[in-house]
Structure 1
Amino acid sequence: MRDTSELTAAVERFADRLRTAPQSRLQRGAAAEGLALARELAARAQRAEEPGREPRAMPDAGVFTVADQLLVAGNDLAEIMRTAPDGSREGELGEAVGLVREAMERAGL
């Protein structure tokens, strides 16, 4: 089992910042960045769980739900990576952490 705490911590940090961001900032793009990231993390988790099947798209449930959507997607991916056989998801953890950091930066959070 691999340590996915860096991914979960990064996702939690971004989600917390989304929760505390003013509505105006969410509407100016922070929520869109969060949703795009949640969709990417969810797609990665689905591809890992069901290879060969087209990932289902996470719906846009509004600017005030993005933090929760991000947490769910990030925690799902972290759990898949945590329980994957050693070497089978090599490099994906660092890549996912990088995606979170980049999205948070683009969101201005």
Structure 2
Amino acid sequence: MPERTDLNAALERLAGRLRALPQRRLQAGAAATGLELARWLDREAQLLEFPGREPYVMPDDGVFVVGDQLALAGREFLAVATPPEHRALLAEARERVARAARAVD
């Protein structure tokens, strides 16, 4: 599915960008932006996979791992958010990824 492929590519680019940023940029807000997106993706994935269970909150493990956290959350989200039933959720994810990418650049 092209929309999932595009979203996966955008997530991987953003995760890679976060991994490559210097500490000062990460601490200036880029890591917080990445973590916020990772937490949203993780929460949505858990809600789909385990309906009725309160989702766990992804921990803040520091600025240097946020790229990995985003990549993992993105993979988990894409594994459970399947079209056509989750088309609106995938569209929202694409918008959130694009917004985060603009904020990080």
TM-score (ref. length: structure 1): 0.89
User: Would you tell me which structure has more helix in proportion to its own residues?
Assistant: 2
**Quick check: 1:7 aligned with 2:7?**
yes
- Between the aligned partners of 1:27 and 1:105, the Cα distance in structure 2 is 17
**Quick check: 1:96 aligned with 2:93?**
yes
TM-score (ref. length: structure 2): 0.92
RMSD: 1.2
- Between the aligned partners of 1:29 and 1:7, the Cα distance in structure 2 is 23
Segments of structure 2 that go 5 or more residues without pairing to the other structure are none
Alignment of 1:41-56 (within 5 A): 41-56=41-56
Tell me which of the two structures has the higher relative contact order, counting C-alpha pairs closer than 8 angstroms and 6 or more residues apart.
1
Greater than 6 Å deviation, 4+ residue runs: none
Q: What is the percent sequence identity of the aligned residues?
A: 47
- Between the aligned partners of 2:50 and 2:6, the Cα distance in structure 1 is 24
Q: Cα deviation per residue 1:42-90 (whole Å; 9 max; x = unaligned)?
A: 0000001011211100000000000000000001111112xx4x53212
> SS of the residue aligned with 1:91?
helix
Segments of structure 1 that go 5 or more residues without pairing to the other structure are none
Q: Cα deviation per residue 1:13-68 (whole Å; 9 max; x = unaligned)?
A: 10111111111000000000000100000000000101121110000000000000
